[in-house]
Amino acid sequence: MGEARRVAIVTGGGRGIGRGIARALAGAGFDLVVNGVRERTDDDPALAELRARGAAVAYARGDVGDARAREEIVAAARARFGRLHVLVNNAGVGSRERGTDLLATTEDAFAWILRANLLGPHFLTQLAARWMLEQKRADPGWTGCVVNVTSVSAELASIDRADYCVSKAALSMATRAWAMRLAPEGIPVYELRPGIVRTDMTARAAADYDRRIAAGLVPEPRWGTPEDMGRAVAMLATGGLTYAPGQVLVVDGGMSLPRL
């Protein structure tokens, strides 16, 4: 009987960047707990594709901003696999009031996006980290990591979606805090900071981004893809970056490079 495969939780893993990450992890030899808010069945194409890549897959439906849903995501990993090595906090939402003047944005919309983009991943990390520490103390050879997916908007301000930028900047700081807490335990925490990635979330702004990319916004003049993000996370998850807790891996085609 072979060695048990490593296990990763990928939130928002059924579409967009999360699906690209899940694909890459399946290809790297991980079994997966895929989380999402949509109803899915065992023959769902997104899950079937992962199984075709050799992964055993469990689906955990729920909003990461909800405490009970977070508990159920971790419980799904315990029930199906009995182990966890990697948590990828990818699930998130865009601004509900995109395009609204900053002077007119509402507290409700601000709280809504912080719940999904900050509170959810922060406290899911807490749950997962407690279990990871249990495993590491029981088996000194256990290895794992946490990857938080933020955005170039963690640093580049957009006044038409300031709530989104604030939520991602806050998650960036949460990454640093968790990296400090878990580094002494041998569990690195990383931040993946994507640029403009072609997903359903960016589809409504596609024409604007096409125009801006053509005008030179991105030095490598193309959209990013979920596959670009997946390769980056797989590198982190398989131990390709060491001695670097809290590292911010910017995968944005050079968009955030300082330029004259």
Q: How many CB atoms lie within 10 A of CB 68?
A: 9
What distance in Å separates the CA atoms of residue 21 and residue 167, rounded to the nearest whole number? 21
Q: Taking CA 10 as the corner, what is the angle to CA 87 and CA 125, rounded to the nearest 5 degrees?
A: 35
In which residue are the tokens 């024409």 written? 207
Amino acid at 173: M
The catalytic position among 164, 190, 209, 243 is: 164
Are the CB atoms for 197 and 225 separated by under 8 Å? yes
Residues 1 and 75: their CA atoms lie apart, in Å, by 26
What contacts 112, CB < 8 A, 6 or more positions away?
Answer: 93, 96
Q: Record the tokens describing residue 78, joined without a space.
A: 């315990």
Helical packing angle, 67-80 and 120-138, nearest 10°:
30
| 164 part of the active site | yes
CA pair distance 211, 202, nearest whole angstrom:
14
What is the set of active-site residues? 164
